[in-house]
Amino acid sequence: MKLGDYVGPELVKVGLEDREPKELLSGLVELAARAGRVSDPASVLSLLLERERAHPTALGSGVAVPHALCAELHEALVVVGVAPGGARFGAEDDGPVHLFFLLLSPPGRSTEHIKLLARIARLARDARFRSSLRSSRSPQEVVDAIRAFETHHL
């Protein structure tokens, strides 16, 4: 399973600015909606906010993986957000979050969901991977960086 198979440039936002977590998540969900992948953004946002209240998804090292199982989906999707200046998102290390990996999956695909979470966590541990994404200037550069890293380093 490769993360690059789930991410396309239409699902990437470069240049996220520091806003409240709800606004950040809303922007990422809206990106998925504009790409035709989510039909009820308000419902998806509600699921994500509920998940954040229960268990915050900031991993530390400048990475957050907000995620939820969404009944409206037929397949998993990953939206990537890059905040070059960092954003407040409740990280345990109290540091800014620079990379957001929003993962949404249908309820019947929880095994795939867990595998994608593990894949993201594994990639995000590598400082070279994080750096390559943070320095990307366009959605296509982010996608290319993810795919290149998976090809050459894993």
| Residues 49-79: tens digit of each pLDDT | 999 998 889 888 899 999 999 998 999 999 9
CA–CA separation, 47 vs 49, rounded Å? 6
CA distances from 18 to 15, 24, 73, 107, 112 (A): 10, 8, 29, 31, 31
pLDDT in tens, the chain (154 residues): 899 999 999 999 999 987 788 999 999 999 999 999 999 999 999 999 999 998 889 888 899 999 999 998 999 999 999 998 888 887 666 788 999 999 999 998 889 999 999 999 999 999 999 999 999 999 999 999 999 999 987 6
pTM of the model: 0.94
Q: In the chain, how many domains are there?
A: 1
Catalytic site residue 152? no
In 3-state terms, what secondary structure has residue 103?
strand
Which residue in 122, 83, 85, 117 sits closest to 100, CA to CA? 83
- Which residues, including other chains, have CB under 8 Å from residue 23's CB and lie 6 or more apart? none
State the residue range of the domain holding 13. Answer: 3-153
- Kindly report the CATH number assigned to the domain that includes residue 103: 3.40.930.10
Predicted local confidence at residue 92, as pLDDT: 66
Catalytic residue among 55, 67, 74, 98: 67
